[in-house]
């Protein structure tokens, strides 16, 4: 193809040929845009925490919404990163969860014929901190990240209603009103993620768990720990097109729970799926939607299980807004605000939750410009 024909072909795909370096600049610009999106993806993917919100008494290890947009995109450069976020939730539940909580804390035994007409209202406000390290050496051809998270916060719960019990001919009616709150540290949460990139397709496998060292009392209505160990693992996929700015991510996993030795209660196996979709309005700003689906697959068990299978379920959906900004010569900052409204909840409190995330990670190295060939004249 001669020079004139090449120029015509480039014009057909929208590439200017006014100077010899324009095509190289376009390629460098696309590389910078892709690296910027990967940095955002790293910050979002590191949303790894767990808060006691809902199998034993409506309380599970997994906190829906941990993953979202760009979750499977590898970090643009190896090294240390830091994730922090503020999380607030306000939820309520009906008589089934309220009764299960009362049984758990020993307020009555279901061996009696009992009817509890009550409601549970709970709030959690916490600050999460998690350092992570991403290795430069590939593992199985992918990028390995290890981290450890923990939080400090406050949890409060109120239960109010009427309890009617029957034992033979004796009927007893009493008004129940319980308030509980706790401020302190939660459990520890180790995490490992392995990610791969193949063009617009990105893949991830992850594993995490619960080390139950946080504030917990089996006789207290509100806690910051779930009171037992747990393991969780799964995989994710992200479609990311840096040329169009469109992105879609989905992450799914399973949770296995160890026995709570204080209550002799074992939660069933849980399945969860988080998703996010976004559109980049610029290299720094994006908007989109997020959602999750949570379902307990097997029933609770153990000698302390006196409420049956008690399988939990909830669905959530809401908006998100993200912003990427430079935070130093070699550091990239990321700010994200998202929220979820829950519905179709079963055997678990439902309401809404809000996340404000601030994360810092290594910035992508600058791509050196292609040296210009010297002009030779005669």
Enter the tokens of residue 100. 């299960």
Q: What is the pLDDT of residue 42?
A: 45
Residue 265 or 191, more confident: 191
Q: What is the pLDDT of residue 171?
A: 63
**Is the pLDDT confidence value at 172 over 70?**
no
**Is the pLDDT confidence value at 21 over 50?**
no
Residue 237 or 91, more confident: 237
**Is the pLDDT confidence value at 14 over 60?**
no
- Is 272:60 a contact under the CB 8 Å cutoff? no
Residue 3 or 235, more confident: 235
CA distance 13 to 273: 39
CA distance 289 to 250: 12
> What three-state secondary structure class fits 12?
helix
Tell me the average pLDDT across 96-117: 60
Q: Which of 44-48, 227-231, 346-350 has the lowest mean pLDDT?
A: 44-48
pLDDT band at 106 (very low <50, low <70, confident <90, very high): low
**Is the pLDDT confidence value at 43 over 90?**
no
Residue 286's CB: how many other CB atoms inside 10 A?
Answer: 23
Dihedral sign computed on CA atoms, order 50, 51, 53, 54: positive
Listed in sequence order, the residues at least 6 apart from 132 whose beta carbon sits closer than 8 Å to its beta carbon are 46, 80, 81, 82, 83, 145, 146, 147, 191
Q: What is the pLDDT of residue 219?
A: 85
pLDDT digits (tens, 9 = 90+) for 189-215: 999 999 999 999 999 999 999 999 999
- Candidates 169, 166, 54; CA nearest to 110 is 166
pLDDT band at 372 (very low <50, low <70, confident <90, very high): low
pLDDT > 90 fraction of the chain, expressed in percent and rounded: 51
pLDDT band at 97 (very low <50, low <70, confident <90, very high): confident
Residue matched to tokens 């693992």: 233
pLDDT digits (tens, 9 = 90+) for 223-245: 999 999 999 999 999 999 989 99
pLDDT digits (tens, 9 = 90+) for 62-88: 889 989 888 999 988 999 999 999 999
Residue 168 or 72, more confident: 72
Tell me the average pLDDT across 10-28: 42
Residues in the chain: 378
Query: Beta 230-241 vs 201-210: how paired, if at all?
Result: antiparallel
Enter the tokens of residue 256. 């296995």
**Is the pLDDT confidence value at 25 over 50?**
no
CA distance 122 to 125: 10
Enter the tokens of residue 344. 């179709």
Q: What is the pLDDT of residue 368?
A: 61
**Is the pLDDT confidence value at 220 over 50?**
yes
E strands, 71-169, where?
79-93, 113-134, 143-167
pLDDT band at 114 (very low <50, low <70, confident <90, very high): low
CA distance 138 to 73: 15
Read off the DSSP letter of residue 141: T
Residue 118 or 144, more confident: 144
Q: What is the pLDDT of residue 369?
A: 58
> What three-state secondary structure class fits 147?
strand
| Cα-based distances in Å from 158 to 155, 181, 224, 330 | 11, 9, 15, 47
Tell me the average pLDDT across 157-165: 76
CA distance 39 to 77: 9
Average model confidence (pLDDT) across the chain: 80
Enter the tokens of residue 60. 């599970």
Read off the DSSP letter of residue 75: P
Q: What is the pLDDT of residue 63?
A: 87
CA distance 56 to 345: 15
Q: How far is CA 3 from the centre of its chain?
A: 52
Tell me the average pLDDT across 326-343: 92
């Amino acid at each position: 193809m001669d020079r004139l024909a090449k120029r015509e072909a480039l014009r057909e795909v929208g590439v200017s040929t006014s100077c010899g370096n324009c095509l190289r600049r376009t390629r460098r610009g696309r590389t910078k845009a892709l690296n910027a999106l990967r940095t955002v993806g790293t910050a979002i993917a590191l949303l790894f925490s767990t808060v006691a919100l809902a199998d034993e008494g409506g309380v599970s290890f997994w906190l829906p919404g941990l993953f979202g947009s760009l979750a499977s995109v590898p970090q643009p450069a190896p090294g240390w990163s830091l994730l922090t976020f503020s999380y607030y939730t306000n939820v309520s539940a009906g008589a089934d969860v309220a009764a299960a909580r009362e049984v758990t804390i020993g307020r009555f035994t279901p061996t009696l014929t009992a009817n509890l007409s009550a409601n549970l209202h709970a709030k959690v406000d916490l600050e999460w901190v998690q350092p992570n390290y991403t290795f430069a050496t590939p593992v199985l051809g992918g990028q390995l990240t290890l981290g450890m998270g923990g939080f400090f916060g406050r949890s409060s719960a109120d239960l109010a209603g009427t309890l009617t019990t029957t034992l033979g001919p004796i009927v007893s009616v009493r008004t129940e009103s319980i308030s509980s709150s706790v401020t302190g540290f939660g459990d520890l949460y180790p995490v490992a993620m392995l990610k791969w990139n193949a063009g617009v397709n990105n893949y991830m496998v992850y594993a995490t768990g619960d080390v139950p060292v946080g504030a917990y009392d089996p006789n207290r209505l509100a806690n910051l720990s779930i009171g037992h160990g747990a393991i969780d693992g799964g995989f994710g996929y992200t479609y990311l097109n840096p040329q169009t700015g469109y992105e879609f991510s989905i992450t799914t996993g399973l949770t296995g729970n160890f026995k709570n030795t204080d209550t002799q209660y074992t939660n069933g196996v849980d399945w969860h799926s988080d998703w996010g979709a976004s559109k980049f309005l610029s290299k720094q700003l994006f908007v989109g939607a997020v959602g999750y689906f949570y379902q307990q697959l097997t029933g609770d068990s153990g000698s302390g299980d006196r409420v049956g299978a008690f399988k939990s379920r909830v669905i959530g959906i809401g908006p998100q807004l993200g912003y990427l900004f430079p935070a130093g010569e070699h550091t990239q900052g990321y700010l994200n605000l998202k929220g979820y409204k829950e519905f179709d909840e079963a055997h678990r409190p439902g309401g809404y939750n809000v996340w404000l995330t601030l994360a810092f990670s290594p910035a992508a190295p600058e791509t050196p410009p292609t040296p210009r060939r010297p002009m030779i004249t005669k």
